Structure 1
Amino acid sequence: MNDTSDPRPSVRGAAEQLSTLVAEVRPELLGAPTPCTEFDVRALLEHVVVMTGCYANLGAGETDAEAATPPPCKAGDEEWAEVYAAEAARLNEAWADGAALDRMMYLPWGELPGREALLGCLLDTVTHAWDLARALGIEDHRLDEGLAETTLGVAREIMPAERRGNPAPFEPVRPVDPEAPASRRLAAWLGRWV
């Protein structure tokens, strides 16, 4: 696993990867299902824009995730790539100052230093990139294997197999070929059928 004491490079890579995928969403695919069963493509995009905005606000100085969470995003069918790219840029800019890594932040799962809070952003961004790729029919080989491997290590650490169900938003770990791409193993770890 890569060093996650400073997750910002991995988060930047994850946001770039997701931006590339969002740019491939055509309006007729917005209603398509995703492996994250609570979201179709449009709802998934709404979620990642709001989540990215929340972490951008935390990096910019907010310390409470609830207060940092922006209102729901309702972009036009052709606007998602631009809207997500803008939030991703805000995220990277907000965390540019390393001081944010040590600032204590309040998230739904506890009080954490920024560097640990940002791992939640990494986990969400990389996992939802896989969800979106599957919904768009994009093969796993187009996803960053190193980034997925790093995120899988994070997921195993912060979301152990026994920590499933309410309040954790993940299903039980699903079976997967141990030789499968890391993005697929990550999805299975987080309860997606692969």
Structure 2
Amino acid sequence: MSGHAGTEPLIDTALTQFAELVGSVDDWQAQTPCEDWSVGELVDHVTGNTARFAAMARGEEVDWSAKPESGPDRVAAFDSAADELRDAWSEGTPAPVGMASGEYAVHTWDLATALGRSTSDLDPAVAESGLEFMRGNLTDDSRGEVFGPEKPAPQDADTYGTLAAFAGRSVT
């Protein structure tokens, strides 16, 4: 799935990493570090935002408030949305890399944590880009209901953990 022509390499990596985690899910009802979301709801959210990033790349108006539903096959739904983004990106104006990398990195941490998996083997450049974007754009006033107040990250946290703590997750 990786290495699609015209796709921003960092986002291609982010999509591939997330897809690999989605493909390993065996309990869609499991709790995530996002208090209100199950694993399935988290994947629905990321799948929906992936389709929105594709719409942005095509120059379309995006409704960020619509509640996403991936249908019965969440793996196929995410793969389809990821391919749609890759195609749109190669044909249109790219969606913002920092915004997209922030989305994928923080939710990759969420999903990996819910699955009991480490993020230490993931490409740190995705999380570094997301952290840079979020530090520059996420203020106390703009956190709203989506992100809690920044929490301390453990000294040994990788970049995904540091980003998750910045986004208000409890990282242990």
TM bracket, shorter-chain basis:
0.7 to 0.9
Matched, 1:135 2:128: no
In structure 2, the CA distance between the partners of 1:182 and 1:55, relative to structure 1 (3 Å rule), is same
CA distance in structure 2 between the aligned counterparts of 1:151 and 1:22, rounded to whole angstroms:
20
Alignment of 1:24-35 (within 5 A): 24-26=24-26, 29-35=27-33
Among candidates 76, 80, 83, match of residue 77 of structure 2: 83
Contact in 1 for aligned 2:102/2:129 (Cα 8 Å): no
CA distance in structure 2 between the aligned counterparts of 1:90 and 1:44, rounded to whole angstroms:
19
* SS in structure 2 of the partner of residue 141 of structure 1: coil
Structure 2 residues not aligned, in runs of 5+? 1-6
Number of the residue aligned with 2:99 = 120
Among candidates 135, 150, 154, match of residue 177 of structure 1: 154
Normalization by structure 1: what TM-score? 0.76
Q: Which amino acid aligns with 2:164?
A: A
CA distance in structure 2 between the aligned counterparts of 1:24 and 1:60, rounded to whole angstroms:
31
Higher-strand-fraction structure: 1
CA distance in structure 2 between the aligned counterparts of 1:140 and 1:42, rounded to whole angstroms:
19
CA distance in structure 2 between the aligned counterparts of 1:44 and 1:143, rounded to whole angstroms:
19
Higher radius of gyration, 1 or 2: 1
In structure 2, the CA distance between the partners of 1:122 and 1:173, relative to structure 1 (3 Å rule), is same
Number of residues of Structure 1 aligned to a counterpart in Structure 2: 165
Contact in 1 for aligned 2:29/2:40 (Cα 8 Å): yes
Number of the residue aligned with 2:128 = 149
Shift of 1:70: 7.0
* SS in structure 1 of the partner of residue 114 of structure 2: helix
Number of the residue aligned with 1:192 = 169
Shift of 1:74: 4.0
CA distance in structure 1 between the aligned counterparts of 2:68 and 2:130, rounded to whole angstroms:
26
Structure 1 residues not aligned, in runs of 5+? 1-6, 102-113
Contact in 2 for aligned 1:54/1:69 (Cα 8 Å): no
Shift of 1:192: 0.3
Cα RMSD for the two superposed structures: 2.2
CA distance in structure 2 between the aligned counterparts of 1:92 and 1:69, rounded to whole angstroms:
23
Percent identical among aligned pairs is 28
